[in-house]
């Protein structure tokens, strides 16, 4: 099974590039930029990665990305992950990034975009890896700020595949961002949002109705509302489920308790992603292997999940056909 999962042309629809920052690279960048870290060693950083909820994680996530200052830091961050993912058999990544988290620290949008776009170009030219770009808004910040960032991103609108919504979910409902997402729609941008990770199933409905999202990131709490489940099923809305993330952030106690098998049973369009692989114990291959062990899934289940992700990925139809062929040939 492990060989099959490695060879499977995996497509990751939900990845925060800042959450792929491994402690090893964090130390390199800290030294390069003359920044003092709150950890003495790589091991000390890894030992600190125990979370009781999403907010606890986000504190360390925002602290970790403080080493990202220059264009080449963003390039190194992304290339480091792209190479690692490709080594695990990943063929496409839709990458979230958080401009506000960098703007707040005085890092201009141009620095972030130039570094990330350079890495995307290089991955597509040399690694046989396609990359989608999702500019995410921090839902615990004011909506006006998000709107301002969206306008500021005018030079990059054509290069974005979608806008997203992430960060602390509870008490930050999708409704807060209606104007921002309306503007994104007007600009012809696809919309996605985190919903039903720590927040209630109602937030999933809100994201669909008020923000017009095309996919739901996480969405695991949909099971608390039969109407929402039926909506997701009948419209075949993709859920980007992140199993090891949900265990790390205590959305579920352990992987065996995870609702993934139930979501599949209900006929939902499930996919698997790593979310923040540097913080949650591993990337795409580890997430797939862990699911195989916890749920006893056979190859057919993983083929279906991969087909779902290929269907939904932000890629050209030529690339989509290519990836479907590759899956069929496995
Ligand atoms: N930002 C990075 N990872 C996240 C997650 N799992 N949920 C919400 N916001 C995030
Ligand atoms: Zn996420």
How far apart, in whole angstroms, are the C-alpha atoms of residue 100 and residue 96? Answer: 12
- Residue whose CA is closest, atom 9 of ligand 1? 167
How far, in Å, from the CA of 109 to the mean position of ligand 1?
Answer: 20
Rounded mean pLDDT of 173-177? 98
Any catalytic annotation for residue 144?
no
Find residue 138's DSSP bridge partners. 166
**How much distance in Å is there from the Cα of 249 to the middle of ligand 1?**
10
- Atom from ligand 1 closest to the CA of residue 61: 2
Closest CA to 12 of 213, 318, 238: 238
Structural domains in the chain (count): 1
**In this structure, what CATH number is given to the domain that contains residue 144?**
3.20.20.140
Q: Which residues line ligand 1 (CB under 6 A)?
A: 16, 19, 54, 61, 166-167, 194, 197, 245, 275-276
User: Rounded to whole angstroms, how far apart are CA atoms 16 and 55?
Assistant: 16
Active-site residue identified among 12, 88, 197, 206 = 197
What's the mean pLDDT when you consider all of the chain? 98
In sequence order, the 6+-apart residues with CB closer than 8 A to the CB of 86 are 123, 127, 128, 129
| Claim: this prediction has a pTM higher than 0.85 | yes
Percent of the chain with pLDDT over 90: 100
pLDDT of residue 323: 98
Torsions phi, psi of 221, nearest 5?
A: -80, 5
pLDDT, tens only, 249-291: 999 999 999 999 999 999 999 999 999 999 999 999 999 999 9
Q: Please tell me the distance between residue 275's alpha carbon and the centre of ligand 2 in angstroms.
A: 5
**pLDDT band at 244; cut points 50, 70, 90:** very high
Range of the domain at 320: 2-329
What confidence tens digit (pLDDT) does each residue in 59-100 have? 999 999 999 999 999 999 999 999 999 999 999 999 999 999
Q: What is the pLDDT of residue 19?
A: 99
Tokens found for residue 56 = 């606890």
The pLDDT score that the predictor gives to residue 77 is 99
Atom from ligand 1 closest to the CA of residue 19: 2
Closest residue by CA, ligand 1 atom 6: 275
Summarised one tens digit per residue, pLDDT across range 139-152 is: 999 999 999 999 99
CA of 194 to the centre of ligand 2 (A): 7
pLDDT, one tens digit per residue, over 106-120 is 999 999 999 999 999
pLDDT digit string, tens, across residues 202-242: 999 999 999 999 999 999 999 999 999 999 999 999 999 99
SS3 291: helix
Residue-wise pLDDT for 186-197, tens only, equals 999 999 999 999
Average pLDDT for 17-41: 98
Q: What confidence score (pLDDT) does residue 270 get? A: 98
């Amino acid at each position: 099974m492990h060989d099959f999962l490695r060879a499977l042309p995996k497509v990751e629809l939900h990845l925060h590039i800042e959450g792929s920052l491994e402690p090893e690279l964090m130390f390199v960048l800290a030294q390069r930029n003359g920044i003092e870290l709150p950890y003495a060693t790589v091991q000390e950083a890894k030992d600190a990665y125990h979370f009781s909820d999403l907010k606890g994680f986000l504190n360390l996530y925002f602290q970790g990305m403080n080493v990202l200052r220059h264009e080449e830091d963003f390039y190194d961050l992304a290339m480091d992950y792209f190479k690692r993912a490709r080594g695990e058999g990943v063929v496409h990544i839709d990458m979230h990034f958080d401009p506000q988290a960098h703007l707040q620290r005085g890092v201009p949008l141009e620095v972030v975009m130039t570094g990330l776009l350079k890495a995307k170009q290089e991955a597509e030219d040399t690694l046989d890896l396609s990359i989608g770009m999702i500019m995410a808004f921090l839902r615990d910040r004011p909506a006006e700020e998000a709107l301002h960032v969206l306008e500021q991103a005018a030079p990059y609108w054509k290069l974005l595949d979608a806008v997203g919504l992430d960060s602390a979910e509870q008490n930050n409902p999708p409704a807060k961002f209606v104007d921002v997402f309306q503007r994104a729609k007007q600009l012809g941008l696809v919309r996605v949002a985190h919903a039903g990770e720590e927040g209630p199933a109602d937030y999933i409905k809100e994201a669909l109705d008020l923000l017009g999202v095309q996919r739901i990131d996480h969405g695991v709490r949909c099971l608390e509302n039969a109407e929402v489940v039926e909506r997701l099923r009948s419209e075949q809305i993709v859920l980007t489920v992140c199993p090891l993330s949900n265990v790390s952030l205590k959305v579920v106690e352990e992987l065996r308790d995870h609702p993934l098998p139930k979501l599949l049973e209900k006929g939902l369009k499930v996919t698997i992603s790593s979310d923040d692989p540097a913080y949650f114990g591993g990337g795409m291959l580890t997430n797939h292997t862990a699911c195989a062990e916890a749920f006893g899934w056979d190859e057919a289940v993983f083929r279906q999940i991969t087909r779902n992700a290929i269907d939904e990925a932000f890629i050209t139809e030529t690339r989509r056909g290519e990836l479907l062929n590759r899956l069929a040939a496995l």
